[in-house]
């Protein structure tokens, strides 16, 4: 695929972070807490992220057991569990915490204003109040974003490319774990040439997912978008199975959905985000202040199409779209 390139805002010169860090010393083991909002330890998506992070740290001469110790936590998309794990991790007093997903950052912001936090894949950090500005975050939290407003248009456009008959698409999300989507939808206007509407579909449990999807399927021209949300990741098996049962064309935000039978995924390469986050970990452990490290956007996006699922849905995937894909699953 011809990948979209975003110009990342480069970091300002590192300054001393006076609250928790000091110069790296020979033989000293620094402690890093890493907490995942959605995935479990044995999940392939989780493993890809951890591997990318550790490989990038190793390239920066941080090695598990030699000069760093990484303590992992996996919340499985449970908000109450996220709060408990965050409290436990903060009490243990690590030198730095790497965190994934908005609910984790919400809990961390409430739990500590001293431990440096690097978020890897968080949506709308400014709108959610995690940072004072993208250029100068201003507190103990900084990191790398995932999706932003314009991607709504890409998801709907790709849905229309693969299923031109779609007239109404719903955006499936949990308002407790992804509260920013209503603001996104209010701020974004569907281009008239797409000839489709995009409607918010807030859900909070599996029963509501089934109700919303079955209602959509009862009308002609329905399509589904499962955007970035730890809730969707946790319930991806159900969402994929319902899309198959009701024969609904669906666009997902993460490659793993397409790998597990979903029609198509488009979004930032999350392993690359974890890989890049190691650079901020390195800088902070060496004395940089997270308040001065600008929030950065994704630089690599990936499109994955499951041709087997498309055939089962009776969809003819345009050759041009296949040629743009990073991966076509047959």
Pairing outcome for strands 264-268 and 301-306: antiparallel
Q: Which of 33, 168, 45, 38 is nearest to 90 (CA)?
A: 33
Query: What's the pLDDT at 27?
Result: 62
Query: What's the pLDDT at 275?
Result: 97
Query: What's the pLDDT at 223?
Result: 98
Q: Domain 151-267+302-329 has what CATH class?
A: alpha beta
Q: Is 0.95 topped by the overall pTM?
A: no
Query: What's the pLDDT at 15?
Result: 36
Query: What's the pLDDT at 214?
Result: 97
Half-sphere exposure of 163 toward its Cβ, with a 13 Å CA cutoff? 28
Q: For the domain with range 30-146+269-300, which CATH number is right: 3.40.50.2300, 3.90.1150.10, 3.40.50.11390, 3.20.20.370?
A: 3.40.50.2300
Alpha helix segments (H runs only) across the chain: 44-59, 79-91, 102-111, 151-162, 181-187, 206-217, 230-234, 236-245, 255-259, 270-285, 307-312, 319-324
d(CA 87, CA 56): 27
Query: What's the pLDDT at 196?
Result: 93
Give the pair of three-digit tokens for residue 19.
């609250």
**DSSP type of residue 196:** -
What is the mean pLDDT for each group of 10 consecutive residues in the chain (330 residues)? 37 38 60 88 84 97 95 90 95 97 95 97 94 97 94 95 96 95 91 92 97 96 96 95 98 96 97 97 98 97 97 95 96
What is the DSSP track for 89-141?
HHHT--SEEEEESHHHHHHHHHH-SSS-EEEEEES-TTTTTS-S-SS---SSE
Residues of the chain with CATH 3.40.50.2300: 30-146+269-300, 151-267+302-329
């Amino acid at each position: 695929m011809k990948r979209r390139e975003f110009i990342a805002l480069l970091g300002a010169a590192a300054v001393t972070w006076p609250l928790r860090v000091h110069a790296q010393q020979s033989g000293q083991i620094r402690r890093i807490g890493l907490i995942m909002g959605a995935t479990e330890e044995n999940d392939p998506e989780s493993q890809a992220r951890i591997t990318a992070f550790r490989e990038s740290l190793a390239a920066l001469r941080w090695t598990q057991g030699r000069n760093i110790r990484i303590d992992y936590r996996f919340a499985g998309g449970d908000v109450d569990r996220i709060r408990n794990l965050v409290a436990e991790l903060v009490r243990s007093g690590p030198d730095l915490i790497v965190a994934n997903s908005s609910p984790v950052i919400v809990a961390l912001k409430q739990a500590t204003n001293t431990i440096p936090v690097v978020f890897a894949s968080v949506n709308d950090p400014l709108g959610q109040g995690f940072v004072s500005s993208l250029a100068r975050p201003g507190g103990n939290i900084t990191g790398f974003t995932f999706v932003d407003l314009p991607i709504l248009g890409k998801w709907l456009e790709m849905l229309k490319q693969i299923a031109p008959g779609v007239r109404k698409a719903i955006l499936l999300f949990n308002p407790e774990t992804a509260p920013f989507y209503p603001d996104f939808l209010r701020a974004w206007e569907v281009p008239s040439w797409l000839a489709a509407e995009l409607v918010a579909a807030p859900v909070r449990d599996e029963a509501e997912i089934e109700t919303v999807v079955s209602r959509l399927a009862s009308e002609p021209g329905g399509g589904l978008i499962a955007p970035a949300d730890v809730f969707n990741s946790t319930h991806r098996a159900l969402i994929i199975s319902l899309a198959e049962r009701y024969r609904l064309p669906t666009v997902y935000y993460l490659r793993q959905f397409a790998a597990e039978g979903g029609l198509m995924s488009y979004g930032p390469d999350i392993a690359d985000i974890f890989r890049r986050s190691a650079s901020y970990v390195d800088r902070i452990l060496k004395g940089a202040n997270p308040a001065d490290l600008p929030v950065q956007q994704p630089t690599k996006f990936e499109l994955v199409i499951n041709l087997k699922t498309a055939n089962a849905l009776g969809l003819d995937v345009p050759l041009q779209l296949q040629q743009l894909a990073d991966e076509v699953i047959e």
